[in-house]
Amino acid sequence: MNSSTLLIIEDEVDILELLEYTLQKEGYETIGFLNASDKVYEVLNEEEIDLILMDRNLPGIEGTSFISDIKNKGYNIPVIYVSAKDQDEDILEGFDKHADDYITKPFNLKELIARVKAVIKRTKKDIEIEKIKDITYKKSSKSFFINESKIDLTTLEHDLFLEFFKNKDILLSREYLLDTVWEDSLEKKLKTVNVAVKRLKSKIDPKNDKKYIKSVRGEGYMFC
């Protein structure tokens, strides 16, 4: 079974229902819309979307314009256009407008499923959303969330937390963190790490009751 979630934006009810039914049978979770309303942005902010199936002829907006808009807002989600615009110039325009694939209507369902699988397999590693305990990291927006609430982090704090996140249950020395997070910074002092970790802990665990990051005296830190 698939664990991917697909966002489908298609203004023809029968086609939307067909796509959702077919893809759900393949094990995908689907979220469907008949237009590119503000509710789509709510879904993008709240759900872990692995692929967008996008019609181009929508009420109020052309599909490629909507995709360009969400890309400009930082959502790095792969896109397959499913469109009746089937001329060569239409297809080329689609690929110029962020398409990872382009399927013309009418379409063969088996081919559509195969191409959905291919795009997800090819792009999954780039859009993966990771979750550990009640913390979620969304790579598309480079943001951490605790129980749906975004954590306000500086760039340094983000990079530091991401290093812990990628190395769960692994003891990271202060020297290692200096080399990987600070790189060539002039502030290469071990106390810099201590201060930064303390500040990070105050943001992700202000009551110090979840103890996400454990200090190991004389050795470093562990995220667990």
- Note whether 91 and 136 are same-domain residues: no
Give residue 189's domain range: 131-223
Q: Cα separation of 201 and 211, whole Å? A: 8
Q: How many CB atoms lie within 10 A of CB 110?
A: 9
pLDDT of residue 1: 47
Domain boundary among 127, 149, 177: 127
pLDDT of residue 95: 93
pLDDT digits (tens, 9 = 90+) for 117-155: 988 888 775 445 678 888 988 877 889 999 888 999 998
- Note whether 12 and 91 are same-domain residues: yes
pTM of the complete model: 0.57
* Residues 205 and 133 sit within 8 Å (Cβ to Cβ): no
CATH number at residue 168: 1.10.10.10
Dihedral-angle region of residue 148 (phi above 0 means left; psi in -120 to 50 means alpha; beta otherwise): left
Q: Collect all residues with Cβ–Cβ distance below 8 Å to 23 and sequence separation of at least 6.
A: 6, 8, 30, 113, 116
| CA 12 to chain CA centroid, nearest Å | 27
- Note whether 64 and 163 are same-domain residues: no
- Note whether 15 and 107 are same-domain residues: yes
- Residue 224: name the closest of 153, 145, 132 by CA: 132
Q: How many CB atoms lie within 10 A of CB 174?
A: 18
Q: What is the mean pLDDT of residues 6-27?
A: 95
- Note whether 46 and 148 are same-domain residues: no
Report how many domains make up the chain. Answer: 2
- Note whether 101 and 18 are same-domain residues: yes
Residue 187 has pLDDT above 60, yes or no: no
